[in-house]
């Protein structure tokens, strides 16, 4: 499959071609790529794309996968509705 047909981040529809272009342009850490492309910022919060992205960075920069710093994990772990949060808040008032 061509790079432009391989999806790295499903939530944001980001292809391998786009990811490789960014790495080649100098965005060589997960945090930087995330910020310019939204990779890993969708509803799944990087559960699928994270590993794929690490592999792409490793293959272009020559670093090993262990050397690549993971993205900062941010709460909540799973999407939660604002309405549910409001009920939570009201329940302990």
Looking at beta carbons only, is 5 or 90 nearer to another protein? 90
Residue 7's SS3 state is strand
Looking at beta carbons only, is 42 or 56 nearer to another protein? 42
Looking at beta carbons only, is 1 or 30 nearer to another protein? 30
Provide, rounded to whole angstroms, the least separation between the CB of residue 25 and another protein. 9
Taking the mean position of all CA atoms in its chain, how far away is CA 19? 11
Residue 52's SS3 state is helix
Q: Which two tokens stand for residue 81?
A: 């509705």
Looking at beta carbons only, is 16 or 34 nearer to another protein? 34
Closest CA to 54 of 42, 37, 66: 66
Calpha distance 87→3 (Å, rounded): 45
Let me know: does 8 contact 52? Beta carbons within 8 Å.
Answer: yes
Provide, rounded to whole angstroms, the least separation between the CB of residue 76 and another protein. 6
Residues that bind another protein (CB under 8 A): 29, 31-32, 35-36, 38, 41-43, 45, 74-76, 79-83, 85-86, 88-90
Provide, rounded to whole angstroms, the least separation between the CB of residue 64 and another protein. 18
């Amino acid at each position: 499959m061509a790079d432009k047909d391989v999806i790295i981040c499903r939530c944001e529809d980001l292809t391998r071609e786009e990811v490789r272009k960014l790495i080649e342009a100098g965005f060589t850490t997960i945090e930087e790529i995330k910020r310019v492309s939204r990779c890993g910022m969708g509803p799944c919060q990087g559960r699928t794309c994270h590993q794929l992205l690490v592999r792409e960075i490793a293959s272009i920069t020559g670093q090993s996968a262990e050397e690549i710093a993971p993205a900062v994990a941010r709460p909540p772990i799973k999407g939660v509705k604002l309405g549910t949060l409001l009920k939570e808040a009201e329940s302990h008032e």
